[in-house]
Amino acid sequence: MADKKIFGAVALYKEPNLLIEAARKVANAGFTKWDVNSPYPLHGIDKAMRIKPSRLGIVTLIFGLSGVALALLLMWWTMSVDYPMVIGGKPYFSLPAFIPVTFEITVILATVSTVVAMFAFFFGLPRNAHALHDTDYMKKVSLDHYGIVIEAIDPKFDEKSTIDLLNSLKPLSTAIIYLPEKETYPIFEPRFLVLLLSVAVVVSLGTYLLLNKLMYVQPFNWMDDQAKIIVQSGSEFFADGKGMRLPVEGTVARGFIPYPFEGQTNPTEVLSNPSFPTKENLQLGQRKFLTYCSPCHGNYADGDSRLNGQFPNPPTLHSERAINFSDGMIYHIITNGQNVMPSYASQVTREERWAIVNYIRVLQRAKNATESDLKFVKSE
């Protein structure tokens, strides 16, 4: 035992205020390399131990301020220099909108840097061995006791006088803690390494099975697989192996009425206008005309659209010939197409086609207004 090196002397207490009292006396005795241990933070212990205020706050301040600067710099550069964008009609650099982001970045930088600095610089972590580990003393102060430890590296330390001092402070018990004979690193022990390895294997296997196997086991089918025909996939039910079937010969869509004059040049004897030019009807005609007809024929059917000159010129609808067309003829041209003009039957419904015819009649009358029409407009 004699050649064992001493780590320090410890004293245990049952009540926090006794520890604080003892700590005050140890501090008065002039020790510098000593510490107290308690299961939870004690109010007033800093003052009793004469600990200087922690300088951790400086780290927080520096990182907090750099958070402010970084956030503002980031937003200034991205939002108003590199890629300026108007958002909600606000200026490129609008401080009120940037405050929340600045606040968040400040807080996260300040807090994370505080915690990292606390562990790395102030606690001196990581540390894998300490003489107090696994001692009876440490077990007790982690639970319901309060302890003082004076380290042997303190210049004032002397085995006998230090223990006498601690004994004079009315402790529950005192003890000398020895350093281990040789430095041991429990993390390199084979038992620990085997444990580590087996944990790694179990965890990897477990996650593999969970994510790749168990996740795909279906406890209930929830009607995911059904014996039905799915669009664009085959089916063994039919002889030709195709799932999708053609409709029965001669099927027509609901609401479809066949156009019997397809390809004919002049079906006008039988085609007569079924719609009456009410205001709603004319407005519908105007809307459809402006959408489908005006790109070629022009907004007022003058044949003067933007396409003029790029295509075979679309004709004006104010020519003698067009004015003399019957309603049925114009309807037929829209439905069937004429020369370069394709059929518009698929874009414009029957009702809308007749409304366009009525609207073309309005345009034609407006271009060739008579004196009596003007009188009518004036009296309006």
Q: Among residues 71 and 165, whose Cβ is nearest to other proteins?
A: 71
Nearer to other proteins, 57 or 234 (CB): 57
| CA separation for the pair 172, 160 (Å, rounded) | 18
The one-letter amino acid at 340:
V
**What 3-state DSSP class applies to 122?**
helix
Among residues 91 and 186, whose Cβ is nearest to other proteins? 91
Near other proteins by CB under 8 A: residue from 4, 5, 50, 57: 57
Q: Does 85 bind other proteins (CB under 8 A)?
A: no
User: Minimum Å distance from CB 144 to other proteins?
Assistant: 16
Residue 89 or residue 250: which is nearer to other proteins going by CB? 89
Contact 315, 322 (CB under 8 A): yes
Smallest distance, Å, CB 71 to other proteins? 15
Of 45 and 282, CB closest to other proteins:
45
Q: Strand ranges (DSSP E) for the chain?
A: 6-13, 34-37, 146-151, 173-178
What contacts 16, CB < 8 A, 6 or more positions away? Answer: 38, 42, 146
Binding of other proteins by 91 (CB under 8 A): no
Helix (H) or strand (E) holding 58: helix 56-76
Q: Give the tokens for residue 370.
A: 């008579």
Report if residue 44 touches other proteins, rule: CB under 8 A: yes
87 Cβ neighbours under 8 A, 6+ residues apart: 97
Cα 331 from Cα 355, distance rounded (Å)? 10
Note whether 88 binds other proteins by CB under 8 A: yes
Task: Return the SS3 of 40.
Answer: coil
Number of residues located near other proteins, criterion CB under 8 A = 16
Phi/psi of residue 147, each to 5°?
Answer: -135, 155
- Which is closer to other proteins, CB of 103 or CB of 119? 103
The single residue listed with the structure tokens 């405050």 is 99
Give the interface segment with other proteins, choosing from 25-33, 88-96, 125-133, 196-204 (CB under 8 A): 88-96
- Least separation in angstroms between residue 232's CB and other proteins is 48
Q: Which residues contact 238 (CB under 8 A, 6 or more apart)?
A: 245
Asked if 109 contacts 63 with a C-beta cutoff of 8 angstroms, the reply is yes
- Residue 16 C-beta: closest distance to other proteins, Å: 9
Q: How many CB atoms neighbour CB 91 within 10 A?
A: 12
By CB under 8 A, which span of 38-46, 235-243, 261-269, 279-287 interacts with other proteins?
38-46
Question: Which residue from 5, 14, 50, 90 is in contact with other proteins, where contact means CB under 8 A?
Answer: 90
Q: Which of 2, 30, 82, 89 binds other proteins (CB under 8 A)?
A: 89
Residue closer to other proteins (CB basis): 16 or 243: 16
- DSSP state for residue 237 in the 8-state scheme: T
Beta-strand runs (E) in 14-169: 34-37, 146-151
CB of 137 to other proteins, least distance (A): 23
Smallest distance, other proteins to C-beta of residue 122, A: 17
102 or 305: CB nearest other proteins: 102
Binding mask 308-347 for other proteins (x = CB under 8 A): ----------------------------------------
Cα–Cα distance, 5 to 368 (Å, whole number): 120
46 sits near other proteins (criterion: CB under 8 A): yes
Binding of residue 47 to other proteins (CB under 8 A): yes
126 cis-preceded (ω within 30 degrees of 0): yes
Task: Say whether residue 15 binds other proteins (CB under 8 A).
Answer: yes
Cα 346 versus chain centre, distance: 43
Q: Which one of residues 4, 5, 14, 17 is an interface residue with other proteins (CB under 8 A)?
A: 17
Structure tokens at 297: 């024929």
Taking the least distance from each CB to other proteins, the nearer of 118 and 307 is 118
Q: Pick out residues in 98-137 that bind other proteins (CB under 8 A).
A: 99-100
List residues near other proteins by CB under 8 A: 15, 17, 43-47, 53, 57, 88-90, 96-97, 99-100
